A = this chain, B = another copy of it.
Amino acid sequence: MTPTNLQLDREGRLRHFLSIEGLNRPLLTEILDTAERFTSVGNQAAKKVPLLRGKTIANLFFEPSTRTRTTFDLAEKRLSADVLNININTSATTKGETLLDTLQNLTAMQIDLFVVRHGASGAAHFIAQHVPESVSVINAGDGRHAHPTQAMLDMFTMRRHKSDFTRLRVAIIGDVMHSRVARSQIHALNMLGCPEIRVIAPNTLCPAHVETLGVHFTNQMERGLDGADVVIMLRLQNERMNGANLPSKDEYFHFYGLTEQRLQYAAEDAIIMHPGPMNRGVEIESSVADSGHSVILQQVTNGIAVRMAVLSMATQRSGQEALS
């Protein structure tokens, strides 16, 4: 844990949350434990705590999003922060201002934390490198690179159902090549001690050298699902279908759709996860998505608690008070 780690402050506390890489197991566990405490807020009659009162948070979304943006928005409001939702497509950059000028203007407005989604890998890192000492950046998805709060809400959901990561067999199924979610999940599972991570995909959607990430690859559903405790389905992006990589939706479902029949290969108490939004009948059979194995909606609920945890950890460092 050197000072060159952009994500940590000098005392080793979370300053930015950009990727799972670079964070150690105690810090990931601290995020999960903090989130655990925030779950009760969502169950209270008044779902609000005054922790971030008077803090200003800007949600900078360069890519459209509903689920992620809305759950960040709710997490921020339930922490009593002041929230700015800025859709950059329709914003200052249309007047020809550079990203850096836009950013410097926003930091001049004394914003405490940026939540950033961007189509380019590395965008959140770039922004984190250019904000003042007192400002934090949370990556809400950058290109194909990382989506660390999604990975942590997935870990949180797994831990609630399976408790011990060191005994889990996890299968990740689908378009791993283009998925920032899968990348972040794999890093988190490895760091939390998961001994067996399997990637199941058609050869055309599997990243080259995937084994170097510490996973096992197979293009056979039955083999990959065998005895799995956790089954993570990825969303098949529409733009991949009917393209060079895939013959058709129907054929994808035929070979890689999660059906009731195939689910029988997994452990009897397996849980099924999906980051949403689902393509029913493409990557997952409707009856499986709505079955007792599915924890897909719990993931959404947990996402708010995990985001509250990360937001409060990043903004409540002691150095935060000293504005640059």
Contacts and interface: CB of A to CB of B under 8 A. Distances in A.
B277 A110 contact: no
Interface of A: 42-48, 53-56, 64, 66-67, 70-71, 73-74, 77-78, 82, 84, 86, 90-92, 94-98, 101-102, 104-106, 108-110, 238, 276-280, 297-298, 300-301, 304, 320-321, 323
A64 B95 CA distance: 10
B45 A105 contact: no
A43 B56 CA distance: 12
A298 B45 contact: no
Contacts of A323: 42-43
B71 A300 contact: no
Q: Give the 7 A-B residue pairs with the shortest CB-CB distance, closest first.
A: A46-B54, A108-B300, A66-B92, A48-B54, A97-B277, A108-B297, A77-B82
A46 B105 CA distance: 20
Contacts of A101: 276-278, 280
A109 B45 contact: no
A74 B66 CA distance: 23
**Copies of chain A in the complex:** 3
Given A97-B276, A97-B277, 4 more contacts: A43-B110, A48-B53, A54-B78, A64-B90
Given A108-B297, A297-B105, A238 B96 contact: yes
A36 B90 CA distance: 33
A279 B78 CA distance: 39
A70 B87 CA distance: 12
Contacts of A109: 70-71, 74, 300-301, 304
